[in-house]
Amino acid sequence: MIYTFTYQRALNFGATLQAYALAKFLNDNELPTQVVDYLPPYMHWQTKRPMKSLKGSIEKYKKYRKFSAFRRQFMPLTPKTFYSRNGLKRLVNPSAFVVGSDQVWNPNLHGESRDKKTGKANFDMTYLFDFPLPEASQTRVKKVAYAASAGSVRFRDITNRQIQDAISGFDAIGCRERILEQDVKVSLDESNACNSTKPQTDTVLDPSLLLRDYSEIELNHLVPKHDYVVSYVVGSGDMLSTFEKRVSEAKHLFGLPVIHLGAKAIASADQNVLDIGPREWLTYIKNAKYVITNSFHGCAFSLNFNRQFTLIPHKLTELNQRQKTLLEGVGLSERLLADGEAISEENCRPIDFNEVNKNLDALIRHSQRFLIEALQSN
């Protein structure tokens, strides 16, 4: 049995859908897979804590129920929920562990304590497979990273001896952004634990792009009869204010109603849909006339469904690396606006997806081959 480790419990559309896609791809390719239902205290708190307002808390509870229903119906979770690393030794008959995708190597999302001397967040070593192996395991368990990401953190800045030793024990490491692959290679070179056989490293696509057909989970009865623009933003504060300006510009440019899917309402939208689950989110994007987003997965699904889109940059430069890597790979770097750049006819010209799909299909084949070979090689 192959076990995947990721943020399967996050109340985040992209995180949930990539977890679903990775397991489905592997199972569809006759590689029996389960998603480890790992729920450490920090993740439990993030998903259950109330919002500042009663209305926000009610919307979050409705969203939580839809995410839970999605996991139960479509995600091959382990029958047991694991609340700590030590419990993972009870996993049954593992042949391989796969960590990824999403920001599994971003310690700022791990919610654990911080080092008293450096102030840096401590890394949850579960996502490097640093836990007791199952007692009944009779053979060596393969260790693979697939489309792992460190998000806004540079891996070189968090690496210590324990992390270096852990990644040196991997069989293959696929990263979601090139900058992380570069940092991983440096870390492997510096590690005294690394023998002459280093793990294979590569840059690969997010699991959500391994699948092109999502009809199993679509809810097409939700789709409006008219054309519409979808807006989806991750972030708050200045990021949200800037994003709302871009949405207003898009609304004026296209003359279409805007359906906003973010966690917080924006005034420029005609409709704010805030209490949805992964199925609704995906369906709204697939059927949109245009997508405005700052989200990596908003960008990924727009590409996958051949939707016209514009990508708004994050304030934190490192958070744009995942998007840049993907857009460069398919030849659409210009769809990421410059910081402060307004939406206009010039930067919203229709995308010709004929060439884009050729590039994307080549990247998909490369990524699929990397993952399957990593798991099947001797």
Model pLDDT, residue 237: 80
Which of 96-100, 108-112, 159-163, 341-345 is least confident? 108-112
Give mean pLDDT, residues 346-373. Answer: 97
CA proximity to 376, closest of 186, 190, 142: 142
> Could you give the percent of the chain with pLDDT greater than 70?
94
What is the pairing mode between strands 96-99 and 2-5? parallel
How many CB atoms sit inside 10 A of residue 245's CB? Answer: 15
What are the tens digits of pLDDT across the range 41-54? 888 888 878 888 88
Residue spans of beta strands (DSSP E) within the chain: 2-5, 33-38, 77-82, 96-99, 142-148, 172-175, 200-203, 229-232, 258-260, 271-272, 290-293, 308-311
Is the predicted pLDDT of residue 95 greater than 50, yes or no?
yes
Which of 102-111, 222-231, 314-323 is least confident? 314-323
Phi/psi class of residue 239: alpha, beta or left (left: φ > 0; alpha: ψ in -120 to 50)? alpha
Give mean pLDDT, residues 352-366. Answer: 97
Give mean pLDDT, residues 196-209. Answer: 91
Is the predicted pLDDT of residue 10 greater than 50, yes or no?
yes
Give mean pLDDT, residues 209-215. Answer: 96
Model pLDDT, residue 44: 84
Is the predicted pLDDT of residue 311 greater than 80, yes or no?
yes
Residue whose pair of structure tokens reads 């999403």 in the numeric block: 102
What is the pairing mode between strands 271-272 and 2-5? unpaired
Model pLDDT, residue 196: 57
Domains of the chain: 2-211+362-376 (3.40.50), 216-347 (3.40.50.2000)
Model pLDDT, residue 59: 83
What are the tens digits of pLDDT across the range 111-147? 766 666 666 678 999 999 998 876 655 578 999 999 9
Mean of the per-residue pLDDT values of the chain: 91
What are the tens digits of pLDDT across the range 153-189? 889 888 888 999 999 999 999 999 999 999 999 999 8
The neighbouring-strand residues paired with 201 are 173
Model pLDDT, residue 48: 78
The pair of structure tokens assigned to 81 is: 């929920």
Model pLDDT, residue 100: 85
The pair of structure tokens assigned to 282 is: 């995906």
Would the pTM count as exceeding 0.85? yes
Model pLDDT, residue 204: 97
Q: Which long-range contacts (CB under 8 A, 24 or more apart) does 127-131 make?
A: 127/5, 127/99, 128/99, 128/163, 128/166, 128/167, 129/5, 129/97, 129/99, 129/166, 129/169, 129/170, 130/85, 130/162, 130/166, 131/85, 131/86, 131/88, 131/89
What are the tens digits of pLDDT across the range 266-297? 999 999 998 899 999 999 999 999 999 999 99
Give mean pLDDT, residues 291-315. Answer: 95
Is the predicted pLDDT of residue 194 greater than 50, yes or no?
no
The pair of structure tokens assigned to 243 is: 């994003």
Is the predicted pLDDT of residue 195 greater than 50, yes or no?
yes
Model pLDDT, residue 235: 80
Give mean pLDDT, residues 234-251. Answer: 89
**Residue 235 backbone dihedrals phi, psi, to 5 degrees:** 125, 175
